[in-house]
Amino acid sequence: MADHAEQLVGTLFRVLSEQGHPEVQQALLERYQSQATADRGELTENLFSELVAILHEQVKTQEQIAVLTTAIERLLSRLTAVIDAAPVAMLVVDSDNEIQVWNDGAERIFGWSDTEVRRQPYSKVLAASSETTEILARLQEGEQLHGVETRHVDKHGTRLDVRIWAAPVQTHGTESTGGVCIISDITSQKQREQRLAVLNRVLRHNIRNDVNIIQAHLEMLAEEYEDENEHVQIMDERLTNIVELSQAARNIEQLQDASETEQTTINLGVMLRERVEQLRAESPAARVSCELPDSLLVVAHELLPYAFDNVLDNAIEHNSSKRPEVSVSASSEPSTNHVTVSVTDNGPGLPQIEREVLTAETESALTHSSGLGLWLTRWIVRSSDGSITVEESATGGTAISVRLRQPGRERH
């Protein structure tokens, strides 16, 4: 309410200047200076009351009407311009869910003009399923809607995927007298997601089948050589990379479909020790140390173990030291209810382009990492409401820190 009153006070102040009432302006400024230490919301409401009182004292009735009318007309004109320019559909419905306001964005998306839908029931015009009735019922019960996805139909009967934000309008106490709805058309976005998902699954299936066939033939070919053949070994490694790439694509699809409910509680202490033992078994020449408590709970995406696999594997795979060293540790922040896991190594350091993959705020088409592993690590950590920092380790290698929230702290 304070924001709306502030806009009205500001507009009235400008109109007073234009229509030649400097004495009213001066009186209002003096009242403002005497109350400048008050709370902003309280100050704005007081100023509005004071302005009305000053107008009544110092300005004739007809001039009062002219000032107030001009100010309200300007506010309405500004609001109308915003509504008409919006690229989304903006609707206002009354307590019977009949459409009272229909902006240009709604006409562009759904095809009907304002005169065709005015005072028509929302469900009759747009509903493609019973979900719409349920959504409107929630709105009339006073519930705010945030990004609810459903389907609507346009003037030609085409079904559109839409996302709705809405808030009830209450003018008589707590009783709802209608609602304001903002609707965006996400049909193209949904179609792209579905096509990519189908393409991803088909490619993964075909790649997996072809790789299995090639590997079987490679095994038979390898049996013909008494010693290891370099060419066979290289082909086998490349096929393994293709299989891993296919799995990475599956994980990306899983992240794409992720929702808040897919976050889970993970015991980092147990999970990381298992990963460290696996790393030791696969890389016996490396020295891998681990300092972790027995129980270290965090709330994260279920793919978090895969993210740490990437970080740990990277610390060994790209380490050119005679004896690679990797250290895993964790520290908690009781004041913020967060925990930070650090993975350090003595390698040559992470190249700048790889650092950007992990830490950049935006994803650039010019940023090409050596593989999908670091991209996945970044996406998984962000889907866990976490963050990643990359620094130089004490031994001149890389120190990657992953910060995650612990149970009991709300998401932001």
Q: Where is average pLDDT lowest: 123-137, 203-217, 294-308, 389-403?
A: 203-217
Whether residue 250 has pLDDT greater than 50:
yes
Mean pLDDT of the chain: 78
Read off the pLDDT of each residue in 250-256 and give the average, rounded to a whole number: 65
Q: Give CA separation, 31 vs 4, 26, 60, 215, 319, in Å.
A: 20, 9, 21, 85, 70
Q: Give CA separation, 279 vs 231, 345, 401, in Å.
A: 27, 13, 18
Distance CA 163, CA 179 (A): 16
φ and ψ of 403, to 5 deg: -105, 125
Residue 5, pLDDT score: 56
Residue 134, pLDDT score: 86
Residue 369, pLDDT score: 47
Residue 388, pLDDT score: 92
Read off the pLDDT of each residue in 236-262 and give the average, rounded to a whole number: 65
Read off the pLDDT of each residue in 171-191 and give the average, rounded to a whole number: 79
Distance CA 299, CA 407 (A): 6
Read off the pLDDT of residues 123-132 as tens digits, 9 standing for 90 and up: 888 887 778 8
93 closest CA partner among 172, 150, 176, 153: 176
Distance CA 298, CA 341 (A): 11
Q: What would the DSSP string read from start to end of 90-122? A: EEEEETT-BEEEE-HHHHHHH---HHHHTTSBH
Q: Give CA separation, 349 vs 31, 86, 294, 302, 394, in Å.
A: 63, 48, 30, 29, 11
Residue 346, pLDDT score: 92
Whether residue 19 has pLDDT greater than 70:
no
